[in-house]
């Protein structure tokens, strides 16, 4: 009968029938290829979920208008552009009466558009506040255009020059940058309302009304 060796301090019993000791010759467990495939697919699905969540939900600004409200506002901008295209398009710069007349005719179109904007009332507080701020910026630029037209008219018969000055936000940034950023936040629903699409900041020279189907 085989004799057992004294118990090892760790509790193991050694003898002729003991399991082979670990060591260089012991066989190590390896992961099967399918385990790595499952892990890779899991990580891939998590990444896809994050990307889809960001694309469909995460990047949408809380200031966005509803699709219906945005469609209404977009049509108002399109209608304004159509009306602007019907106006005489002077190429002269300086203090010409045609320039002043053009500015004031355009401003009448813009103010009519703003009156229509006022009929849009977003139901949620954040979109409503953002939309109101955007329309206020429109009003500020129109007022600046009017001041320029009045000043330009006052230089008639003189060599005086006047400069159109856009209102600013935070004291440094032209307000039309913020206005266009709001349009981008509502992408792709308000492309017709880019300031460039309506030539809002153009007060002298020929107006060029391009398509409104792409980001400005």
Task: Return d(Cα 36, Cα 41) in angstroms, integer.
Answer: 9
Which residues neighbour 130 within 8 Å (Cβ) at sequence distance 6 or greater? 63, 182, 185
The answer to whether the beta carbons of residues 119 and 125 sit under 8 Å apart is no
Token couple for 88 = 């005489």
Q: Which residue from 128, 146, 143, 142 is spatially nearest to 73, judged by alpha carbons? A: 128
pTM of the model: 0.71
Query: For 89-146, how does the pLDDT look when each residue is reduced to its tens digit (9 = 90+)?
Result: 866 555 578 899 999 999 999 999 999 999 999 999 999 999 999 999 999 999 999 9
Task: Return d(Cα 197, Cα 199) in angstroms, integer.
Answer: 6
**pLDDT of 55 above 50:** no
Q: How many CB atoms lie within 10 A of CB 74?
A: 20
The answer to whether the beta carbons of residues 197 and 74 sit under 8 Å apart is no
Q: How far is CA 208 from CA 164, 184, 187, 201, in A?
A: 18, 21, 23, 12
Task: Return d(Cα 138, Cα 73) in angstroms, integer.
Answer: 13
CA 25 remoteness from chain centre: 64
pLDDT for the residue 58: 43
pLDDT for the residue 5: 54
Task: Return d(Cα 95, Cα 116) in angstroms, integer.
Answer: 32
Mean pLDDT of 36-44: 74
**pLDDT of 13 above 60:** no
Task: Return d(Cα 76, Cα 53) in angstroms, integer.
Answer: 32
What are the start-end ranges of the E strands in the chain?
168-169, 173-174
Query: For 142-163, how does the pLDDT look when each residue is reduced to its tens digit (9 = 90+)?
Result: 999 999 999 999 998 888 999 9
Looking at residue 58, what DSSP letter applies? Answer: I
Q: How far is CA 107 from CA 80, 147, 162, in A?
A: 11, 11, 19
pLDDT for the residue 41: 74
């Amino acid at each position: 009968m085989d004799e057992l060796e004294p118990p090892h301090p760790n509790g193991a019993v050694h003898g002729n029938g003991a399991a082979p000791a670990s060591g260089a010759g012991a066989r190590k467990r390896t992961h099967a290829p399918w385990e790595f495939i499952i892990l890779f697919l899991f990580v891939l699905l998590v990444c896809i979920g994050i990307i889809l969540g960001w694309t469909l939900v995460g990047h949408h600004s809380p200031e966005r208008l509803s699709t219906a409200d945005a469609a209404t506002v977009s049509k108002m901008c399109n209608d304004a552009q159509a009306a602007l295209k019907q106006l005489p398009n002077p190429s002269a710069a300086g203090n010409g009466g045609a320039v002043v007349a053009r500015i004031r005719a355009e401003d009448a179109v813009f103010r009519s558009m703003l009156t229509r904007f006022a009929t849009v009332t977003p139901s949620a507080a954040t979109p409503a506040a953002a939309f109101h701020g955007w329309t206020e910026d429109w009003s500020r630029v129109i007022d600046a255009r009017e001041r320029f037209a009045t000043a330009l008219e006052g230089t008639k018969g003189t060599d005086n020059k006047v400069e159109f000055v856009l209102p600013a936000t935070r004291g440094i940034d032209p307000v039309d940058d913020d206005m266009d950023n709001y349009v981008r936040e509502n992408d792709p629903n308000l492309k017709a309302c880019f300031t460039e699409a309506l030539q809002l900041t153009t007060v002298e020279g020929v107006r060029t009304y391009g398509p409104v189907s792409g980001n400005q």
